[in-house]
Amino acid sequence: MSNPPPTGSPPSGSADKTDWLSELISPLRTVGREMLVTSLFVNLLALAVPIFVMQVYDRVIGHSGMETLKGLLIGIALVLAFDYVLKQTRGRVMQMVALRIDVDIGTRLFDKMNRLPLRILETRPAAHWRQLFQDVDTVRNTLSGGTALLLTDLPFVFIFLGVIYVIGQPLALVFVITFAAFIILAWRSGQRLGQSAKAEKNVTANRDALISEMIAGRGTVKAVALDKALRPLWEERQAGAIEHSIQRGAIADGYVNLGGMLTLMANVMVTAVGAVYIIDHQLSMGALIACNMLSARLYGPINQLVGAWRGFGAFRQAVARLGETFEMAEDRVETTITRERPAGVLRVENVVFTYGGETNAPATIDIAALDFRPGGLTAILGKNGSGKTTLLKLLMGLYPPFSGRVLLDDGDMAQFTRHELAGWIGYVPQETLLFNATIRDNIAYGAPGCSDQAILEAAHAAGVHSAIVDMPDGYATTIGEAGSRLSAGQRQRIAIARALAGNPAILLLDEPSASLDRQAEEDLRAALQAMARTRTVVVVTHSAVLLPACRDVVVLDKGKVAASGLAADILPRLFAPRPAPVPAPAPAPAPAPAIGAAP
């Protein structure tokens, strides 16, 4: 048994995870061409200094040509100024490219993540999703940083080879051989560093995931002194990360040093072979010096390639990871027809749902028929793990059922977009999640753009208004990371207000009174009763204050409906006083061993 693909648009079906990059780069083609032309001029201008040196050695020094020297100096000064302007322009273009890439991929990734079905988001650790945003940085830095410059410079090494052939023809073969050796070295280093970087990334991600969990649960870590238990685990992961980092560093150093040695050897060979040709009168002194200078322009980019290859490996992985994400199926985002606010009748029809989707796994939810209607509160009860929260998520359309349907006003949930459903259904989760913003903003997140009046009404209904106005900054109070400056009860009430802000037709609450005091619970009961007159209000609760106010009750047991109907019928049966256990007869006292008996 496997879950069907989530609702909404299917993946594009393209197997190539780099297609998105081509799409991204295609509008930048004109900029790329401009970059290449600029690089062509920058590289041509780079020939000026070696040619200047050659002329000075061969024409000025040999023939005391002061006038020639002055002319050459003026020429080279103009060339260097032009070179500076070109490089500045190239730098600006690069910044523009970086900005566009940041905006394009960053926004695309943010939107994509928000459109991914919840089950997909839940199946990968938080570290994976965080990594994707670092991948955007990697792609930006590669396409707009030193690596991109290196790539635009690389084709021009052939110009330098050509010029070397023209001015130092006898040396050309030495250059071709050393050039080939550099290419092999760069390719090999790329392979080794790529493998090593991949292994290091996996180990580091493992270590970072542990740190993230520790930071998220820092209160508990302190209270339970979990650091002692977690230290060996962290040490093991940290040791793994260090070991891989050292290995990668050693490989990278090895190749960089080999590249350096190869450069020196090439210089020695060019000078030695050049000296032989000078003695033989086949080469001038100036030409040898110019060739030596040009060799730096030739080997420089390839030597950089040896070091930059690791970056390419990370770039390729980042592109693949982002491509895989962009290919994933999405929640439905488009609606063909604008609908009115629903009446709020929810119906579950033959719904089977299981996490993980293993063939033989017992269903987490297996319900033949269940209705939720406005006009009175409905409570869902059941033991821990019986599937109450999962049922609420199915009712919200957050999980697509494996089989069967969830209907909203007789329409299959699957046809509605996430934004439509979120506008119609208010949800108070078991674990309150607030953001580091003002109280006003946190309530308004439930209905973006809602009026101040709607916020005030929601806060009143959630019983949190007087607590808010008691604070010195009132609704402008910033609540700290995840609402850390508020008490658990205040957080829960603000979460309830957030769910009410959009005046939803359906309200689903998961243990909403777990952190409330008695008075707050009674206030909440009154507010829910009032709302349930015109809305469908479903509350997962075992509270002795909320339950008596419910019209209907659904009892879940291992994902199945164990009982459902009027609360007046079911609750008394459920909470009927159990017969007092009959005390077990006291065991007969063991006979005292006879004095002198054998043990």
Ligand X SMILES: Nc1ncnc2c1ncn2[C@@H]1O[C@H](COP(=O)(O)OP(=O)(O)OP(=O)(O)O)[C@@H](O)[C@H]1O
Which one, 342 or 397, has the nearer CB to ligand X? 397
Which one, 187 or 575, has the nearer CB to ligand X? 575
In whole angstroms, how close is the CB of 398 to ligand X at the nearest point? 11
Q: Give the integer Cα–Cα distance in Å for 1 and 402.
A: 8
In whole angstroms, how close is the CB of 385 to ligand X at the nearest point? 4
Q: Which of residues 425-454 bind ligand X (CB under 6 A)?
A: 430
Q: Give the integer Cα–Cα distance in Å for 545 and 152.
A: 72
Which one, 236 or 358, has the nearer CB to ligand X? 358
Does residue 532 contact residue 372 with C-beta atoms inside 8 Å? Answer: no
Does residue 524 contact residue 515 with C-beta atoms inside 8 Å? Answer: no
DSSP one-letter code for 346? E
Which one, 222 or 383, has the nearer CB to ligand X? 383
Q: Which two tokens stand for residue 6?
A: 């989530």
In whole angstroms, how close is the CB of 400 to ligand X at the nearest point? 14
State the binding string over 515-554 for ligand X (x if CB under 6 A, else -): ----------------------------------------
Q: Give the integer Cα–Cα distance in Å for 116 and 59.
A: 71
Which one, 244 or 393, has the nearer CB to ligand X? 393
Which residue intervals of 218-284 are DSSP H helices? 218-223, 227-279
Does residue 333 contact residue 8 with C-beta atoms inside 8 Å? Answer: yes
In whole angstroms, how close is the CB of 425 to ligand X at the nearest point? 17
Residue 412 has a CB neighbour count (10 Å cut-off) of 13
In whole angstroms, how close is the CB of 570 to ligand X at the nearest point? 17
Q: Is 444 helix (H, G, I), strand (E, B) or coil?
A: helix
Residue 109 has a CB neighbour count (10 Å cut-off) of 18
Beta strand 346-353 with 425-428 is unpaired
In whole angstroms, how close is the CB of 544 to ligand X at the nearest point? 17
Calculate helix-pair angle for 285-327, 157-167, nearest 10 degrees.
160
Which one, 163 or 428, has the nearer CB to ligand X? 428
User: How many residues belong to the site for ligand X (CB under 6 A)?
Assistant: 12
In whole angstroms, how close is the CB of 433 to ligand X at the nearest point? 15
State the binding string over 161-190 for ligand X (x if CB under 6 A, else -): ------------------------------
Calculate helix-pair angle for 48-55, 66-115, nearest 10 degrees.
170
Q: Which of residues 91-130 bind ligand X (CB under 6 A)?
A: 122
Q: Which of residues 354-393 bind ligand X (CB under 6 A)?
A: 355, 364, 382, 384-390
150: CB partners within 8 A, 6+ apart: 301, 304, 305, 308
Which one, 551 or 558, has the nearer CB to ligand X? 558
In whole angstroms, how close is the CB of 521 to ligand X at the nearest point? 18
Which one, 108 or 542, has the nearer CB to ligand X? 542
State the binding string over 322-361 for ligand X (x if CB under 6 A, else -): ---------------------------------x------
Which one, 306 or 380, has the nearer CB to ligand X? 380
In whole angstroms, how close is the CB of 542 to ligand X at the nearest point? 9
- Calculate the alpha carbon distances from 415 to 282, 376, 394, 397 in Å: 82, 27, 14, 10
Closest by CA to 408, choosing from 346, 497, 465, 469, is 346
State the binding string over 490-519 for ligand X (x if CB under 6 A, else -): ------------------------------
Beta bridge partner(s), residue 539:
379, 509
Q: Is 239 helix (H, G, I), strand (E, B) or coil?
A: helix
Q: Give the integer Cα–Cα distance in Å for 468 and 515.
A: 17
Which one, 277 or 355, has the nearer CB to ligand X? 355
In whole angstroms, how close is the CB of 477 to ligand X at the nearest point? 30
Contact positions vs ligand X (CB under 6 A): 122, 355, 364, 382, 384-390, 430
